[in-house]
């Protein structure tokens, strides 16, 4: 697809921008770290859902297959040459026909299970198809969401049940340390990374003791992937948001704000001067509803404005409607009646007679806003504009839905 280089001020808004140099730097950083630990990456492509971004990850090296969160992603990436795919959401019977179709087309697709009840239902559906399904067991290593307790009898029972089926092959175990998103210190992230790794290896040991071998031992989250210092016994690490980073990752200390490669471009459509508000055409449909920094020491509302390349926390999207974003100075948050949640008690002063925000953001001004959660923001778009030095040099397509 031919794309004519375009100054970002001339792009239609709202739109999603990717800083190519920052993205490549982020990709290289994790690739090198995991490589230094003698392990490989299975990147989670749900963050970007783009073959161009995936190719950039592969070009950086040290990649073993990909992770997806929907079967639509599996279809898309398989059609673009990705063969080794882990579908990392617990499987259900109504998806087995779709999985079978991919396997029969030659896709090396692995699915996930974490309980006996679902396994029995899924195995019944598998019997309707002429293929063998590779299955791994999801472990709960931090109490965050789904998964089997690594210490439980259920772990052994499920693995044996899979092995005894003519239609399924036990492949190994996986876990995701989602609680790492509450780890604000380096020590906390290191402890969570060690817990994720060690409990996974404990499960592997228990399975080995009853004669069950794990070909795949898969762990990962972006915070723990950067914090882990030893990966002996682990076959792969999964992470996704590291390619772009976001304000949540910056708040956890995983990256600096200047590392964030994704932004949303909006246009100033008006002012409410008595309230100290700048109104932009990028609302929560453009940013997503994710308020991931709400419980952080620094709450950025719906996003942090990046004026003139500066990422100081001076202007934020303190409130948002569907197609309107309210930009305020950090000292002038929008009133509670217009917001899901007060940004911070220190931000609730009345609007002052300070015109600096209106000088900074006059009518029709292009305005870049950094997202709380890059995965959620990216999912609002079917393409990204790829930016170098303030110029959009390419347009990369992405997919959405299920």
CB 300 within 8 A of CB 318: no
Q: Is 7 helix (H, G, I), strand (E, B) or coil?
A: strand
Q: Is residue 98 predicted with pLDDT exceeding 70?
A: yes
- pLDDT value for 342: 42
Of all residues in the chain, the percent with pLDDT exceeding 70 is 92
Residues 106, 223, single domain; the answer is: yes
CATH of residue 359's domain is 2.40.37.20
Q: Show the tokens assigned to 38.
A: 């003698």
Q: Give the Cα separation of 79 and 170 in Å (integer).
A: 26
Q: Is residue 378 predicted with pLDDT exceeding 60?
A: yes
Q: What is the DSSP letter of 351?
A: P
Mean pLDDT (whole number) for 383-393:
97
Alpha-carbon distances of 170 from 40, 228, 233, 382, rounded to whole Å: 21, 27, 18, 36
CA dihedral 7, 9, 12, 14 (to 10 degrees): 120
State the average pLDDT for the chain.
Answer: 93
Q: Which residues pair with 112 in a beta bridge?
A: 90, 136
Q: Is residue 138 predicted with pLDDT exceeding 80?
A: yes
pLDDT, one tens digit per residue, over 289-315 is 999 999 999 999 999 998 555 545 689
Domain assignment of residue 357, yes or no: yes
End-to-end CA separation in angstroms for the chain:
25
User: For the residues of 208-257, what is the DSSP string, one character each?
Assistant: HHTT---SEEEE--HHHHHH----TT--EE---GGGT--HHHHHHTSS-G
Q: Is residue 241 predicted with pLDDT exceeding 60?
A: yes
The number of folded domains in the chain is 2
Residues 131, 189, single domain; the answer is: yes
Pairwise pLDDT comparison (348 vs 298), residue with the higher score: 298
Residues 115, 181, single domain; the answer is: yes
- pLDDT value for 350: 40
At residue 355 the predicted structure's pLDDT band, cuts being 50, 70 and 90, is confident
- pLDDT value for 144: 86
pLDDT, one tens digit per residue, over 216-227 is 999 999 999 999
Residues 391, 293, single domain; the answer is: yes
Of all residues in the chain, the percent with pLDDT exceeding 90 is 90
Residues 206, 292, single domain; the answer is: no
Domain assignment of residue 44, yes or no: no
- pLDDT value for 313: 64
Out of 22-31, 65-74, 148-157, 339-348, pick the least confident. Answer: 339-348
Closest CA to 371 of 14, 34, 41, 99: 14
Q: Is 298 helix (H, G, I), strand (E, B) or coil?
A: coil
Q: Could you list the residue range(s) of the whole structural domain that residue 334 is in?
A: 257-397
CATH of residue 181's domain is 3.20.20.10
At residue 109 the predicted structure's pLDDT band, cuts being 50, 70 and 90, is very high
Domain assignment of residue 30, yes or no: no
Q: Is residue 124 predicted with pLDDT exceeding 60?
A: yes
Q: Show the tokens assigned to 169.
A: 């092959």
Q: Show the tokens assigned to 48.
A: 């970007």
Residues 220, 317, single domain; the answer is: no
> Helix 116-126 crosses helix 96-104 at what angle (to 10 degrees)?
50
- pLDDT value for 75: 99
Mean pLDDT (whole number) for 247-274:
97
Residues 70, 212, single domain; the answer is: yes
Tell whether omega for the bond before 91 is within 30 degrees of 0, i.e. cis: no
Q: Which helix (H) or strand (E) holds 104?
A: helix 96-104
pLDDT, one tens digit per residue, over 52-89 is 999 999 999 999 999 999 999 999 999 999 999 999 99
Query: What is the chain's percent helix, strand, coil content, to nearest 5?
Result: 35, 25, 40
Closest CA to 139 of 128, 157, 152: 152
Domain assignment of residue 344, yes or no: yes
pLDDT, one tens digit per residue, over 31-43 is 999 999 999 999 9
CB atoms within 10 A of CB 267: 19
Q: Give the Cα separation of 157 and 225 in Å (integer).
A: 30
CB 206 within 8 A of CB 150: yes
Mean pLDDT (whole number) for 341-359:
56
Pairwise pLDDT comparison (338 vs 369), residue with the higher score: 369
Residues 130, 213, single domain; the answer is: yes
- pLDDT value for 354: 67
pLDDT, one tens digit per residue, over 150-206 is 999 999 999 999 999 999 999 999 999 999 999 999 999 999 999 999 999 999 999
Residues sharing a CB contact under 8 Å with residue 107, sequence separation 6 or more, in sequence order: 74, 78, 83, 85
CB 175 within 8 A of CB 147: yes
- pLDDT value for 346: 36
């Amino acid at each position: 697809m031919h794309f004519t280089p375009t100054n970002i001020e001339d792009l239609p808004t709202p739109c999603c921008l990717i800083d190519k140099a920052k993205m490549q730097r982020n990709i290289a950083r994790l690739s090198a770290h995991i490589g230094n630990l003698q392990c490989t990456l299975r990147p989670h492509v749900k963050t970007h859902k783009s073959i161009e971004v995936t190719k950039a990850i592969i070009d950086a090296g040290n990649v073993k297959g990909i992770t997806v969160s929907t079967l639509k992603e599996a279809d898309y990436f398989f059609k673009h040459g990705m063969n080794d795919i882990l579908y990392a959401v617990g499987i259900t019977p109504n998806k087995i026909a779709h999985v079978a179709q991919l396997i029969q087309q030659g896709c090396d697709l692995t699915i996930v299970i974490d309980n006996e009840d679902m396994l029995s239902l899924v195995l019944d559906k598998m019997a309707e198809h002429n293929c063998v399904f590779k299955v791994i067991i999801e472990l709960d290593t931090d109490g965050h969401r789904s998964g089997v307790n690594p210490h439980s009898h259920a772990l052994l029972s499920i693995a044996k049940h899979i092995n005894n089926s003519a239609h399924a092959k036990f492949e190994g175990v996986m876990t995701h340390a989602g609680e790492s998103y509450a780890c604000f210190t380096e020590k906390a992230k290191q402890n969570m990374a060690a817990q994720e790794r060690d409990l996974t290896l404990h499960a592997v040991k228990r399975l080995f003791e009853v004669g069950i071998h794990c070909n795949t031992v898969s762990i990962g989250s972006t915070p723990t992937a950067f914090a882990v210092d030893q990966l002996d016994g682990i076959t792969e690490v999964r992470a996704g948001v590291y390619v772009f980073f976001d304000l949540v990752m910056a708040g956890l200390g995983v990256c600096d704000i200047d590392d964030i490669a994704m932004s949303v471009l909006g246009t100033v459509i008006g002012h409410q001067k008595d309230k100290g508000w700048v109104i932009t055409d990028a609302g929560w449909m453009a940013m997503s509803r994710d308020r991931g920094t709400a419980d952080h020491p620094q709450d950025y509302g719906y996003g942090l404005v990046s004026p003139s390349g500066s990422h100081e926390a001076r202007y934020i999207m303190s409130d948002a409607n569907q197609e309107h974003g309210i930009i305020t100075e950090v000292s002038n948050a929008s009133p509670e009646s217009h917001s899901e949640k007060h940004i911070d008690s220190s931000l609730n002063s009345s609007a002052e007679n300070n015109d600096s925000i209106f000088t900074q953001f006059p009518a029709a001004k292009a305005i870049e806003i950094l997202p709380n959660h890059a995965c959620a923001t990216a999912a609002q778009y079917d393409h990204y504009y790829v930016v170098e030095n303030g110029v959009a040099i390419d347009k990369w397509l992405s997919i959405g839905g299920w």
